[in-house]
């Protein structure tokens, strides 16, 4: 990291399908955070729309031609912003997207690559998956996104860190499951996996997880800021709205990477070769069996 950054993580409950109401809420929170000295305000997955939209996804999709898009970009005038929204791509498809906004422009837009379509989740019915795992250069250092389901696929974190990411910006709409001791067993799992990534890769991980009830879902919250040694620099309670403020300290990142340099000596060629073997085996398994040629009598 080139410098430390003060972050405000927002654990909130968006209004389902109401872009204008959510924009107003974002604007007020960002202005207050900037007055408190925050450099970056970090919202949840699909923070501008809510999650369980069903057939409303098209109606609330944003692109540069949308009349509200200039207002979205203007959110970043007081401070940088991480925001979640539905993007209408130039190809006409809809994406579950997260954007890093800086000084009135979208510095980077990430399209969620893993869309949960199992159990109560139906993202694959409404969204197209992203096709790339990229990092980007923020004003303070190199960063990447982990959007909800992507946090449960170690390959996403690995790909980001191997490309130089120093901060993994994690967002989620995570339903609470298994109430235990005033919290959720499921959200303890979230913190454990993010703490593992932070410690193994020596990265900062701010995590914004929403709360509230929506179309049968109960969202658990449990947002946190995870330090590069795996400890919690800040954490929110479950169920209720909250805001966390923490400093992503550049010196702490350097110390963690000196203490654990393992990720800096990866044997990329071994992993690439192994993945190529997996891909070949998967392709062969998916190919239909071909009957052997038999000579005519």
Residues 4 and 251 sit within 8 Å (Cβ to Cβ): yes
Sequence-ordered list of residues with C-beta below 8 angstroms from that of 100, at least 6 positions apart, any chain = 80, 81, 82, 106, 107, 108, 136, 138, 143, 145, 169
- Whose CA is closest to 113, among 44, 159, 165, 175? 159
Query: Is the model's pLDDT at 178 over the cut of 90?
Result: no
Q: Give the mean model confidence (pLDDT) for residues 45-51.
A: 97
pLDDT of the residue at 176: 67
Residue 291 — pLDDT band, cuts 50, 70, 90? very low
Give the integer Cα–Cα distance in Å for 68 and 229: 40
- Percent over 70 (pLDDT), the chain: 92
> Is it the case that residue 295 has pLDDT exceeding 60?
no
pLDDT tens per residue, range 65-108? 999 999 999 999 999 999 999 999 999 999 999 999 999 999 99
For residue 297, pLDDT beyond 50: no
pLDDT value at residue 262: 82
Buried b (16+ CB within 10 A) or exposed e, 167-186: bbbbbbbbbbeeeeeebbeb
Residue 285 has pLDDT above 90, yes or no: no
Mean pLDDT along residues 23-40: 98
Q: Which domains are assigned to the chain?
A: 5-264 (3.60.110.10)
Per-residue pLDDT at 237: 86
Q: Which two tokens stand for residue 27?
A: 């604007």
Distance of CA 213 to the CA centre of its chain: 21
Structure tokens at 249: 């300290």
Element (H, E) at 123: helix 123-126
The pairing of strands 183-184 and 179-180 is: antiparallel
**Mean pLDDT on 26-49:** 98
| Mean pLDDT (whole number) for 159-175 | 95
Quick one: pLDDT at residue 251? 98
Residue 20 CB coordination number (10 Å): 11
H-run or E-run covering 33: helix 19-35
Residue 290: the pLDDT is 47
């Amino acid at each position: 990291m080139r410098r430390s950054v003060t972050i405000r993580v927002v654990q909130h409950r968006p209004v389902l399908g109401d872009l204008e109401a959510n924009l107003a809420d974002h604007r007020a929170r960002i202005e207050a955070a900037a007055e408190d000295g925050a450099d970056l305000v970090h919202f949840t997955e699909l923070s501008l729309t809510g999650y369980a939209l069903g057939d409303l996804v098209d109606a609330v999709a944003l692109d540069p031609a949308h009349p509200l898009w200039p207002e979205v970009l203007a959110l970043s005038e007081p401070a940088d912003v991480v925001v979640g929204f539905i993007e209408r791509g130039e190809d006409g498809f809809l994406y579950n997207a997260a954007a890093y906004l800086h000084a009135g422009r979208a510095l980077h837009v990430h399209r969620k690559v893993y869309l949960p379509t199992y159990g109560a989740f139906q993202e694959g019915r409404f969204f197209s998956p992203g096709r790339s795992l990229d990092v980007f250069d923020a004003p303070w250092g190199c960063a990447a996104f982990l959007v909800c389901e992507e946090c449960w696929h170690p390959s996403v974190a690995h790909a980001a860190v191997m490309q130089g990411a120093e901060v993994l910006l994690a967002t989620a709409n995570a339903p609470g499951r298994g109430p235990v001791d005033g919290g959720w067993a499921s959200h303890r799992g979230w913190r454990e996996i993010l703490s593992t990534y932070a410690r193994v890769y020596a990265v900062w991980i701010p995590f914004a997880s929403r709360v509230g009830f929506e179309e049968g879902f109960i969202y658990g919250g449990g947002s946190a800021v995870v330090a590069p040694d795996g400890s919690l620099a800040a954490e929110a309670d479950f169920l209720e709205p909250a805001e966390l403020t923490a400093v992503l300290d550049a010196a702490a990142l350097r110390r963690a990477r000196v203490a654990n340099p393992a990720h800096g000596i990866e044997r990329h060629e071994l992993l690439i070769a192994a993945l190529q073997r997996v891909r070949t085996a998967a392709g062969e398994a998916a190919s239909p069996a071909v009957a052997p040629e038999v000579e005519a009598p």
